[in-house]
Amino acid sequence: MSILQDFWCTDELALHTFASLPAPDLRNCAQVSRSFNRIAVQSVLDQHKIWNAQRSAVLQLADNPNNLDGLSALLLSIHVKNLTNVNFDLMKVVSLASALKTFYKMQRLVDRMASLHTVYVNWPSDAYQKRPVSDKMLATACKCVEEFLDTVISKGCIELKFGYFNAFASKYKLKKNPAITAAEIPRAPAAERSSVWESARGYLPSRHTRAASDVLSPLSEEGNYCRKSSRFSISAPWMSLTPSPKLSQVTKLTTFCTYSTSVFRPPFSQWTFALLQASPVTSMTLSIQDIPDDGVESKLILDRLAEATPNVTTIRLNGARPGLMKDVVAWLGRFQRLQVLKIETECFPAGTDIDDLELEALARLPHISKLLSSSYFLCAYLASCRNVDGKSLPRTLKELSSKTSSGFTTQS
């Protein structure tokens, strides 16, 4: 068969023809027949370089919800019933009203799927922070995002990734509760600081307990936060994403990734920590570069994260705020089942003193088998292993990898 004959006997001609049609005509063609639906949808996906949507799809979502982007095309499809790896990228969505409509469409797509594996949602919403957001709009946004995330989990998502998601986290501030602040006084004995800290974590303001009968009250840790009141109101209402009562029954999540700590702060934190506590999470990828400078709040976030995911075996740290690694290394020692630890060199900015890190906590972990980090961190870790109880290197340790600034990796 010649090349010309092969062209006429395939869908190539129809794909080229459909690609030249305006959006309204393409929508009409997708409703003619199953064959036309497949070709019309694929002609749109081809424009966004999506060749096999069921295997992998990066959806660059448009600010105008009426545009025929990749998400709209998949909503027209009657053939795509499973999503293995889907990336919802809202980089171009710069208005909050468009974002809410987009999340509704995202939920419709996910709800039609028989199964999901990996979902990545990148919502770089800094643009909304500089614009006034009414309480009504905030409540609508929380509900919209909540329904989308609950639908994702209900479809058996195994790997969930968040990018940014800092649209409203800046609206909430940690209260200067004297009990919590006292727990951070460095002069107090360690035992006293611990007891004060543990009692402070149970503090819950009475005004946050007055929730409606059909709405779950915020977790006790959320009670330590408040929203800044405006000049038009005495106190701002509490709003958050409420975890579904069926969360523990439907979740299959084993891998959790986030490139912002905003998901660990209100209004997202109540949903996030409920999900982590209910899920069999064994792998986490974290970037804590934007964790609040407030040492009390950063400790609260790390403490809650360790309690919610005690069975984690793999942790990857992609970035950390300067001056935080001392707390982070001590925090890593709480994961007694940890086997694989990867700490990128970006976590150790210039001026970081490795000698100040409490590496004995890592050296005592019984199941570490693979460690990847900077060469000077690994050297300090090996020295700590020899100092702990007079022992040599851990028997379980099988691989050490050092990463240089140029990206070259050596293994031993």
pLDDT at 255 over 90: yes
Tell me, yes or no, whether 241 lies in a domain. Answer: no
Q: How remote is the C-alpha of 59 from its chain's centroid?
A: 18
In a domain, 211, yes or no: no
pLDDT above 70 coverage of the chain, percent? 79
Question: CA geometry: angle at 151 spanning 144 and 302, to 5°?
Answer: 80
CATH number of the domain enclosing 7: 1.20.1280
Q: Tell me if 151 is assigned to some domain.
A: yes
Are the C-beta atoms of residues 90 and 102 closer than 8 Å to each other? yes
Contact 100, 144 (CB under 8 A): yes
91 vs 122: CA distance, rounded Å? 7
Contact, 236 vs 135, CB < 8 A? yes
Residues 261, 348: one domain?
Answer: yes
Query: Bigger pLDDT: 6 or 160?
Result: 160
Answer yes or no: are the C-beta atoms of 200 and 300 closer than 8 Å: no
Residues 2 and 104 grouped into a single domain? no
42 and 54 in a single domain? The answer is no
Please check whether residues 102 and 15 belong to one and the same domain.
Answer: no
Instruction: Please tell me the distance from the alpha carbon of residue 265 to that of residue 57, in angstroms, as a whole number.
Output: 29
Better-predicted residue by pLDDT, 132 or 161: 161
pLDDT band of residue 230 (cuts 50, 70, 90) is low
Give yes or no for residue 111 having a pLDDT over 70: yes
Q: What is the pTM of this model?
A: 0.84
For residue 12, pLDDT beyond 90: no
CATH number at residue 136: 3.80.10
Task: Say whether both 163 and 55 belong to one domain.
Answer: yes
**In terms of DSSP H, where are the helices of 233-314?**
247-250, 269-278, 295-308
pLDDT digits (tens, 9 = 90+) for 314-348: 999 998 888 888 889 999 999 999 999 999 988 88
- Give the pLDDT of residue 131: 72
**Which segments of 159-233 are extended strands (E)?**
159-164, 172-174, 225-227
pLDDT reading at 46 higher than 50: yes
- How far apart are the two ends of the chain, measured CA to CA in Å? 55
Between 11 and 324, the higher pLDDT residue: 324
Residue tagged 């009504």 (tokens): 136
Report how many helices (DSSP H) and strands (DSSP E) the chain contains, helices first. Answer: 16, 13
Q: pLDDT at position 213, please?
A: 36
Residue 162 has pLDDT above 90, yes or no: yes
Which residues have CB under 8 Å from 22's CB, separation 6+? none
Same domain flag for 122 and 17: no
Among 271, 144, 174, 139, residue whose Cα is nearest residue 216: 271
Which among 9, 30, 47 is the end of a domain?
47
User: Across residues 202-227, what is the average pLDDT?
Assistant: 53
**Are 9 and 92 members of one domain?**
no
Question: How many Cβ atoms are within 10 Å of 399's Cβ, its own excluded?
Answer: 11
Q: Alpha-carbon distance 75 to 252, whole Å? A: 25
| Domains in the chain, number | 2
Give me the phi and psi of 276, to 5 degrees please. Answer: -65, -40
Tell me, yes or no, whether 207 lies in a domain.
no
Host domain of residue 390: 50-174+250-411
Q: At what angle do helices 135-154 and 269-278 cross, to 10 degrees?
A: 20
Give the pLDDT mean for 163-177: 79
pLDDT of 66-78, one tens digit each? 788 999 999 999 9
Same domain? For 288 and 393 the reply is yes
Q: Are residues 40 and 72 both part of a single domain?
A: no
Residue 140 token pair: 């609508």
Residue 228 lies in a domain: no
Nearest to 337 by CA among 401, 391, 284, 376: 284
Q: Which residues pair with 88 in a beta bridge?
A: 59, 121
State how far the Cα of 172 lies from the Cα of 182, in Å rounded to an integer.
Answer: 21
Residue 65, in any domain of the structure? yes
The pLDDT value given to residue 97: 87
pLDDT at 83: 93
Does 269 share its domain with 372? yes
In a domain, 240, yes or no: no
Residue 20 and residue 150 in one domain:
no
Q: Please give the Cα distance from 278 to 249 (Å, whole number).
A: 8
Residue 208 located in a structural domain: no
164 DSSP β-pair partners: 123
The DSSP code sequence of 138-177 is: HHHHHHHHHHHHHHHHHTT-SEEEEEE--SSGGGEEE---
